[in-house]
Amino acid sequence: MSIGWFPGHMASARKQAAQTLAKVDVVVEVIDARLPGASSNPMIDALRRHRQRPCLKVLNKADLADPQATEAWVRALTESAARGDKVEAVALSCRKPGDVARVARLAHALAPHRDSALKPLRVMVMGIPNVGKSTLINALAKRRIAKVGDEPAVTKSQQRIDISDRLVLFDTPGLLWPLIEHPSDGLMLAASHAVGVNAYIDEEVATALGEILLERYPALLARRYGLAPDALRSLDGPALIDAIAQRRGYVLKGALPDRGKAALALLDDYRSGALGRISLETPASRAQMRAAAAAAADEPAAADEPAATDEPAATRTGLRRARATGPRTGEDDDRG
């Protein structure tokens, strides 16, 4: 299954982001610690490298992610930076005030020459929807500036925010849409609520999530749903959804399992952290997935590089072109 995602105004978002980038010293790229690869938009790296802007990669929602996987990601992201490319990575939770203070400190360290009222540090916060950009901005500003919401695409208008006389933030057009190059990225993004609910079917996304959880976190599934670890070993994604329906008593007329309700329960439990701390990918699993995709396409695996074109990802990857299935249908005109 592929996510019906059409990255609407990608070209104009890119143009606006490039214009704002010209005015800033440091890019703070917010990504989701549970899926750092899938929640990165390679366009951000391309734009900032072009302008030689240092970058702080914030792996946010680390409170929900598997600490071991997160540690591996922080290492991999810092190490993979090209020579001369100033990149720092940090895992944290923007919901924790102490963590947020680290963001300001680390950003200042990337451009130490900008640290006075005369030359305040100018930071642009970038990232795909729902990774926590607004939460970070509000926490830095210590007031509610950007609207926080668990539905993608809440931040809309461009903002310049004076945090202090030493720090200025730019919000959107830091908002860029996910670039879904691999179907598995679409599924991970949907499971993590980074694409709008109209772009996917809960049951299919929950089934794919179930496959990952059965492989990597069977103990968490057993604990949450009271399933015997031995029984879990014989399950696949669809059977897991059935088992959850059965355990929870989600039954339709005719004693059929209510798979829709069970799928939503699994998605909610993952999203809220009720299942436990989970990462959907590791640097190793991502490298493996990319190598497999490249082999299938009969071409060498490339580094995570932006496409050299503004052609929508949907066209290049053969994903279903589905207009108006992006985040918040009806708000398309505000994108980018």
Query: Residues in the site for ligand G4P, rule: CB under 6 A?
Result: 60-61, 63-64, 93-95, 127, 129-135, 148-150, 154-155
55-60, strands of its sheet edge to edge = 87-91, 55-60, 26-32, 121-126, 167-170, 160-164
**Is residue 125 within 8 Å of residue 30, measured between CB atoms?**
yes
Nearer to ligand G4P, 24 or 214 (CB): 24
The answer to whether residues 330 and 156 touch, using CB atoms and an 8 Å cutoff, is: no
Closest CB 132 distance from ligand G4P, rounded Å: 3
Smallest gap from residue 136 Cβ to ligand G4P (A)? 7
8 A C-beta contact, residue 87 and residue 97: no
- Between 140 and 221, whose beta carbon lies closer to ligand G4P? 140
| Distance in Å, CB of 246 to ligand G4P, minimum | 29
Q: Which C-beta is closer to ligand G4P: that of 29 or that of 258?
A: 29
Note whether 239 and 225 are within 8 A (CB). Answer: no
Shortest reach from residue 129's CB to ligand G4P, in Å? 5
Question: To the nearest whole angstrom, how small is the minimum distance from the Cβ of residue 172 to ligand G4P?
Answer: 9
Whichever of 107 and 243 has its CB closer to ligand G4P, that residue is 107
Please report, in angstroms and rounded to a whole number, the separation of the first and last CA atoms in the chain: 27
152 contacts 146 by C-beta, under 8 angstroms: no
What is the rounded distance in angstroms from the CA atom of residue 216 to the CA atom of residue 33? 16
In the complex, minimum distance from the CB of residue 144 to ligand G4P, in angstroms, rounded to a whole number: 10
Nearer to ligand G4P, 132 or 326 (CB): 132
101 contacts: CB under 8 Å, gap ≥ 6? none
Separation of alpha carbons 247 and 235, rounded Å: 14
C-beta of 41 vs 93, nearer to ligand G4P: 93
